[in-house]
Structure 1
């Protein structure tokens, strides 16, 4: 692998990226770091005001940042094709990478559903990105080497998918349902690359995760987010094991930009997968299980109502 300086990612002036959920959290810092490369970065967000606030913040930190808002609601499957059509209308002829970052994390019951009747976390985090990939396929294929970068979670390591209850209709526990939705995303990311290779596609699929990313260790970006001195002081002991969201975005950014990254790889923080510089990690066996992945894929295509090849032929 070539050397990598996370503080100075390589130039990408001729490239175009989309970051879903780019207005907050890991997505915001991913967009900010990608903007430093000179690339055109679209922030996918259903809330125009929050996206505009994030864009203004990034521009205040990155001189000459090229940023646009893309209306995007992953909880409304019927709206996704229109969102991608907006890119066409803006003259975007190719997409060099999409970062599947946006997500919902609920801590307490009751169980909630999307407009399409899917459990909210599984429906948004996994099914929404599954469907979005289908509509982005032509733009990704038009790039020399398009990338799909799926942002997973450390929480997925301890979970297993219940293929008979993907939407937690029988047993809903928010934290477990969230972990399983992220596991579904990561399983999809690895399965997508296998299918892309089988189809002879130039597009690759990579999975990355931020490790342990705490608000209290995250630099302030007012008014997007503010970390008070008291919050930072209370979080300092945790810095031995985890990090802030700015650092958590670095494995994602490397997965997007590093020319040595290959499809089917997993990238995360160097120290126990929780903090530190980005590195390539072994893929956990349960995320690479082809039998589970094939059943998840078939169920997802049916629930979303798209062809199983997702348009990559």
Structure 2
């Protein structure tokens, strides 16, 4: 940890660099595709000018998808940083504590067996499933007097049970199997302005909760004894931090499905850049999560263009590679690297 703190970069410089990278990725999403659209034409259309069909695709198809990807990545990055501070374990993430599996299972069951109520209710469904999974993990580990490592072990076990429930729901998905598979793999395909507006509606309260949870995560990062000494109630602080992480994960899962490993990788990279203090790690993990998921989605689109050449109107093709495939390709070796460092 000392090495991380000693080599940390100034926070304003990191934020400025990240903002430039976000703008560059956003522009790349808008101009890249079967039909390339020049940046000046994109700006002209956004300013209200006349648009060709290709430019309409850039603004009405690519832009909302790109912004949704940035927000989903930021939510997962922040959730992972909060969970790692909560349990003081760098292996903690929404994927390894049962939270993501609970949110995914509840959404998939709702898609298969629930009423056709539209997408507005899905964040609430995801939050319910994520909170239920987190509550089970918390109760089991609390009774066992567990540390962070056991919490992750219990989270993996609970996640395994929930993944089995998800598989059963998938067997009964019938004509909804395509939608169900998209949620399981994690996808940003066909996300539009409706999805973005829905995500923005949930983003405001979740952001407020995450901001309120950061000081408590900073205390919990020092240990429960120090937290109590400084006048905070550890149990209440843990509950609020866990709630913030679960709701951030639920909002992301309800829109993009089970996008894996962003919540694990982004906080690790954030600590390497700005140090281990949650007040710095959480916002930078959100920024890096946005960058990672946006880059993975751009890679998914590019791979599709190379692998299936000659398709017309490829930006709306329903069989594109899910972004979750690329985040898994990034996350699995990273997880093995972290485990190897911790056991060596």
Q: Does TM-score exceed 0.5, indicating one fold?
A: no
Bigger radius of gyration: 2
TM-score for the superposition, normalised by structure 2: 0.25
Larger relative helix fraction? 2
Larger relative strand fraction? 1
Which structure is richer in relative contact order (CA contacts within 8 A, separation 6 or more)? 2
